[in-house]
Amino acid sequence: MLLLDGKKLADELKSEIKTETESFMAAGGRKPHLAAILVGNDGGSLTYVGHKVKACEQVGFKSTLLHFEDSISEEQLLNEVKKLNDDEEVTGFIVQLPLPKHINADRVIMAIDPRKDVDGFHPVNVGKVTLGLPAYVSATPLGITKILERYGVETAGKHCVVIGRSNIVGRPMSILLSGQSATGNATVTVCHSRTKNLREITMQADIIIAALGKPEFLTADMVKEGVVIIDVGTTRVTDSTAKAGWRLKGDVKFEEVSKKCAAITPVPGGVGPMTVVSLLLNTLKAAKHEVQ
Ligand code: NAP
């Protein structure tokens, strides 16, 4: 079984991004600047944004964190988005999700200038990805394609089963895998909570992308020998033996499933670090004006 080590790969890619950024700036390019909007004090969101800011420092980008109270109104938030759209010093920015219930996340995402949408959530970028045009690809699916590419996992002609159809993971992942690219050309089945006989489908899979957010959902009796598994799930599960009082669990029952796998990502240390790196890749792309 090959462990698809996202942490190690992320470190390698960060070092490549740092070198590329230095050359870009030496040739007169402006230092890439990633801004992040964070609303409220959700533990997960604080951690994720913290990782993103730290990663910017590691590769020589500038970063700015705009942290607002839960009580910020939708109108005020839209105004902050507009300011970042208009700020020539900012290369790209993200709005960390989830947002409080009184704010319409779709409206906020739609307000982002697609040219600065380094999370790849704006419909213009989603549409371009669907058409195979240059675009900002949503960070988690982009990170997964990098894992497949760098570890030489062949996708062409393979049956890929994506469990989950969210706009940020499952849906874009299924589009990328079925597209015409080095990490595409697969036959893709997308499963969700209304899928019947899920086990019958996962048993046929050469590659499974588990992105449903249900800890240890995928068990050994649901997969065939030699399968490749990408575990996107990250759920905080209470654990009194852990220092924090919780532990991150993936959607796959790693201990038993990994015994049948040709390759598998761990949680933590798999998809998570690659998501952060993908955001850096998109920001560097924005700095180079590669997406119009
Ligand atoms: P989401 O928006 O909650 O979507 C979950 C999807 O799973 C939905 O499409 C849902 O179906 C489907 N689903 C739920 N129960 C199912 C079941 N029993 N059988 C089959 N499908 C089922 O979640 P998300 O934002 O995509 O995130 C998924 C997981 O990935 C979460 O654990 C999240 O924390 C994690 N994540 C990790 C990263 C990372 O960087 N590592 C990034 C993003 C997300 P319906 O559409 O029918 O409801």
Residues counted in the chain: 292
The per-residue pLDDT for 291 is: 84
Query: Which two tokens mark 264?
Result: 């598998």
Ligand 1 centre distance from Cα of residue 235 (Å)? 10
Q: Which residue has its alpha carbon closest to ligand 1 atom 34?
A: 234
Q: How would residue 44 be classed by pLDDT, with cut points 50, 70 and 90?
A: confident
Question: What mean pLDDT value characterizes the chain?
Answer: 97
Share of the chain above pLDDT 70, in %: 100
- Note the CATH number of domain 139-272: 3.40.50.720
Inform me whether the pLDDT recorded for 292 exceeds 80.
no
How high is the pLDDT of residue 109? Answer: 98
Residue with tokens 């033996």: 241
Q: Which atom of ligand 1 is the closest one to the Cα of 194?
A: 47
Backbone angles phi, psi at 66, to 5 degrees: -105, 110
| Of 249, 167, 181, nearest in space to 214 by CA | 249
d(CA 233, ligand 1 centre) in Å: 7
- The answer, yes or no, to whether residue 126 has pLDDT greater than 80, is yes
Residue with tokens 């300011």: 83
Arithmetic mean of pLDDT, 197-215: 98
What is the DSSP track for 72-120? --HHHHHHHHHHHHH-TT--EEEEPSPPPTTS-HHHHHHHS-GGGBTT-
Mean pLDDT of 11-15: 98
Q: Which residue has the tokens 């490749």?
A: 228
Residue 91: pLDDT band (50, 70, 90) is very high
Strand partners, 190: 162
Q: What is the pTM of this model?
A: 0.97
Decide if pLDDT at 9 tops 90. Answer: yes
Q: Supply the pLDDT for residue 46.
A: 93
pLDDT for 61 beyond 80: yes
Q: Is the pLDDT of residue 272 over 80?
A: yes
Q: What is the CB < 6 Å shell around ligand 1? A: 140, 163-166, 168-170, 191-195, 198, 211-214, 232-235, 271-272, 275
Residues 117-123 have a mean pLDDT of: 97
pLDDT, average across residues 173-177: 98
Which CATH superfamily is 30-112 part of? Leucine Dehydrogenase, chain A, domain 1 (3.40.50.10860)
Look at residue 231 and give its three-state secondary structure: strand
Q: Which of 166, 208, 230 to mutate to test the pocket of ligand 1 (most atoms within 8 A of CB)?
A: 166
Residues recognised as catalytic: 52, 96, 119
pLDDT at 67: 97
The per-residue pLDDT for 290 is 87
pLDDT(12) > 90 = yes
pLDDT at position 183 is 97
- For residue 4, how many other CB atoms are within 10 A of its CB? 26
pLDDT in tens, 233-266: 999 999 999 999 999 999 999 999 999 999 999 9
Hey, where are the domains in the chain?
Answer: 30-112, 139-272
